[in-house]
Amino acid sequence: MNRRIISTAIFLLGAGLASQTSIAASQEPIQPIEPAKVTNASPGRTRQEALFRPAPVEIWLHLLQFLPQPVDGGHRQHQDLDR
Amino acid sequence: VTSGSRPDQRADRTITPASTIAQFWDGRAADLKAQAGGPIANPGEMGFSTPWRSACCRPSPATSKNSRKPSAANKIDIDKVTNSIAAFEDTLVTPNSRFDKWLKGDKKALTANELAGYQLFKETGCVACHNGPAVGGNSFQKFGVVEPYKGDSKAEGRAAVTGKDADRFNFKVPTLRNVEMTYPYFHDGAANTLPEAVDTMARIQLGKKFTPEENAKVVAFLKTLTGDQPNFKLPILPPSADATPRPTPFDKK
């Protein structure tokens, strides 16, 4: 019980101090400046967009994996080269 | 550095630009996008003519060799260029100055001398114009309220944009963020040091003469407005090729 009262008191004290600080800051004629919010943090996507027509190319790349694969992993045999 | 189309004015600042009322000292660009297009086309700066600008907006030969034909959605034009520059400039903020830390509750972030400077800054009336997150930049004000400003510049400020006589010598109030790093001061760059700028501002704007001690305190406060500077990697551009369009030197135009 006592522990609960103490933790509640500490929480309220902390919250009070925090709100006092923010009130003090808002009463000043100058306000803090916040870091920039970068909304387009995706350089990989941007580069892709610049180089390809995104949707069709991506669809074909995805479809390629469903094509039947050669048993030898795609390596041509010597006899194939001789033909 | 002077502003290209206004050689009688020093370049406006691009740090913390988004929170300002308009761009350039006379506010001739409404926003960052409008500002970004100015220097590209300005004959006194980059001087890109329309055909040259169009050529530059095409992928360079080195890039286009390795890429497919761009779709309409991927086409680069001057509109996209200025949008991109504006988006980049939007990120040029400098948070975490010692004064910001003090505002957020770190009472040890400022010395007694710097705090005394801030008190003077408020009590004297500087905050009437230099306020808000950018410590200025949010209004146009007459330069020389109490006493006319005597300088060599022929710039007439906002009147050059609006054509109104009432706007003569009205300039955008500059942000004071990072002010210790942005000398020389005023629209014409006439003040080389912060003490000189503070002295002139107090005299012609507020009709007050600071003692050397008071001036030093205000300057000490202003130096607490320096925040974390932008840090970014410069892009590695593709090499130029024989087909890359070349600029025409200014003296051959």
pTM for this predicted structure: 0.69
Higher-pLDDT residue of B12, A44: B12
Give the pLDDT band (50/70/90) at residue B60: low
- Residues B133, A33: C-beta atoms closer than 8 Å: yes
Q: Is B68 left (phi over 0), alpha (psi -120 to 50) or beta?
A: beta
Least confident of B12-26, B42-56, B223-237: B42-56
Tens digits of per-residue pLDDT, B159-212?
888 889 888 899 999 999 999 999 999 999 999 999 999 999 999 999 999 999
The string of pLDDT tens digits covering residues A8-53 is: 666 666 655 555 555 556 689 999 998 887 665 555 555 555 555 5
Contacts of A4 (CB under 8 A, 6+ apart): none
Report, as an integer, the average pLDDT of B55-69. Answer: 57
Compute the Cα dihedral for B161, B166, B168, B169 and give only its sign. negative
Question: Which of the residue ranges A79-83, B78-82, B161-165, B222-226 has the most confident prediction, judged by mean pLDDT?
Answer: B222-226
Place of tokens 């504006």: B86
Query: If you average pLDDT over residues B46-59, what whole number do you get?
Result: 61
Report how far residue B236's alpha carbon sits from residue A46's, in angstroms, rounded to the nearest whole number.
16
The more confidently predicted of residues A20 and B124 is B124
- Interatomic CA distance for residues B6 and B12, integer angstroms: 11
- Backbone phi, then psi, for B242, in 5-degree steps? -60, -30
* pLDDT above 50 for B37: yes
Chain A contact present for B103, CB below 8 A: yes
Q: Which chain A residues have a beta carbon less than 8 Å from that of B134?
A: 33
* Closest C-alpha to B34, from B2, B1, B79: B79
CB B57 within 8 A of CB B37: no
A33 CB neighbours in chain B (<8 A) are: 16, 19, 93-95, 97, 100, 133-134, 177, 227
Nearest to B232 by CA among B100, B93, B96: B93
**β-strand B140-142 against B170-172: which pairing, if any?**
antiparallel
Cβ–Cβ under 8 Å, residues B92 and B84: no
**Does residue B156 contact residue B168 with C-beta atoms inside 8 Å?**
yes
